[in-house]
Structure 1
Amino acid sequence: MHSIDLRVGKRLLWVGGAAYPLQNITRVYTFTMQPRRKEAAFRFFRRTAVTLAVALGLTITAELVRMADRGESSTTGLLTVIWLVAGAVVVSSAVSMFSVLGAPPQYVLAMETSGPSIAMVTSADARQLDRLVEPIVQAIENPEAEFQVKVEQLVVNPNNYYFGDNVNMYGGSGNVGVGHS
């Protein structure tokens, strides 16, 4: 964990080294990001199945080539390399999966802007983040407001977490989006 400054001054919200104009902030809220455990497990099983299928296919092809040469060529070295690479891919996929399975839910303070950007701060102390919502909103309403606070920030890989609510859409095709509570 490391700490970052969260401060408001001169109509800007600073989150670490990033500045957001207060007039562009449309929403300030807290929520809990949940790890994508099910997707991580499915991704592991899919990668493992594809890897083993490719390794088995290459093994069969190598054996057929050896048999066509009437056993004159040796495929032992090639087969060793194929299965070592397959093993490395499976181990790497397992490490990736277990890093997500072991990840705890993270409490987040999020600030959305009128554009596509969003600022997020995570902390082990959910109450601290809850207490920050009101001063940020007051700073948006009051141009003279200024404050600064240090926030202990946890480093989070956003690809391993859900952001906001799941939204079910009926009708249409190819709809992609993120919903927030």
Structure 2
Amino acid sequence: MAEFALWRRELEWILCATYASRGAVISEREVIEVRVGRRVLWVGADAFSLPNITRATTVSMVPNRLPAVSAFVRFVIMLAIVTATGVTLLRRTEFGALIVSAVSAVLAAVLVARLVSVFREETYYALVIEIGGASHTALVSFDIDELRDLTHRILDAIEDPDAAFAVRIENYIGHVGDNVHVSGTGNVGKAGR
């Protein structure tokens, strides 16, 4: 029974999305307006006072594929053991071994499809704005060049009180990665599971 619980947990994990430490869910995307005017940075409906921005940067969020590969290998080994045991026990029945083999083949196909989907996941890039030691992920995109250009425009606007611009950018909505607080008072680093 304990082996079945472990097997089920591995299957559930493989069927879940895998970014960073199983922490990303990108549910949809939207085009938002990023603009600067009157010393305020607007990212969609969020407003940041330009004089209070201490840092603007882009960060990469690369899918962590190693846990997916590790779980895949463990599950394939368990599936092979269960299949061999099932075929051995049911070989005397008319269709028992055939049914066990068919179910195992379907599970193996699902596992391979999930592994392929993990390897096809793209790297996301985030525009991070720091205000008074607190970091805010302002937007998430696949286009690193667009985010770098936007970061430079924001930094230029901090230095130039008359600066104004407006751009539309595709933003991916959801939670990506871990929530990490690494600056200022109350620094706890990464809170893991």
Which TM-score bucket, shorter chain as reference? 0.5 to 0.7
> What SS does the corresponding residue of 2:93 show, helix, strand or coil?
coil
**Which of 16, 23, 27 pairs up with 2:54?**
27
**Which of 60, 82, 85 pairs up with 2:104?**
82
The one-letter code sitting in structure 2 at the alignment partner of 1:119 is A
The one-letter code sitting in structure 2 at the alignment partner of 1:65 is L
Q: Does 1:134 align with 2:150?
A: no
**Which of 93, 98, 119 pairs up with 2:138?**
119
Matched residue, 2:25: none
Matched residue, 1:167: none
Identity of aligned residues (%): 14
**Alpha-carbon separation, structure 2, partners of 1:53 and 1:151:** 49
Matched residue, 1:56: 80
Name the TM-score, length of structure 2 as normaliser.
Answer: 0.56
Deviation at 1:150, TM superposition (A): 0.9
The one-letter code sitting in structure 2 at the alignment partner of 1:22 is S
Matched residue, 1:171: none
**Which of 75, 82, 93 pairs up with 1:72?**
93
> What SS does the corresponding residue of 1:52 show, helix, strand or coil?
helix
**Alpha-carbon separation, structure 2, partners of 1:149 and 1:54:** 55
Q: What is the number of equivalent residue pairs in this alignment? A: 151
Matched residue, 2:184: none
**Alpha-carbon separation, structure 1, partners of 2:136 and 2:110:** 37
Q: Does 1:110 align with 2:138?
A: no
Deviation at 1:33, TM superposition (A): 1.9
Deviation at 1:133, TM superposition (A): 1.7
CA contact 1:5–1:148 (8 Å) conserved in 2: no
Deviation at 1:112, TM superposition (A): 2.5
Matched residue, 2:167: 150
CA contact 2:58–2:151 (8 Å) conserved in 1: no
**Alpha-carbon separation, structure 1, partners of 2:138 and 2:30:** 17
Rg larger for: 1
**Alpha-carbon separation, structure 2, partners of 1:93 and 1:13:** 40
For 1:65-109, what per-residue CA distance to the aligned partner results, in whole angstroms no more than 9, with x for missing partners?
325xxx135231132112211222122212211334xx4x84x54
Q: What residue ranges of structure 1 are gaps of 5+ in the alignment?
A: 165-173
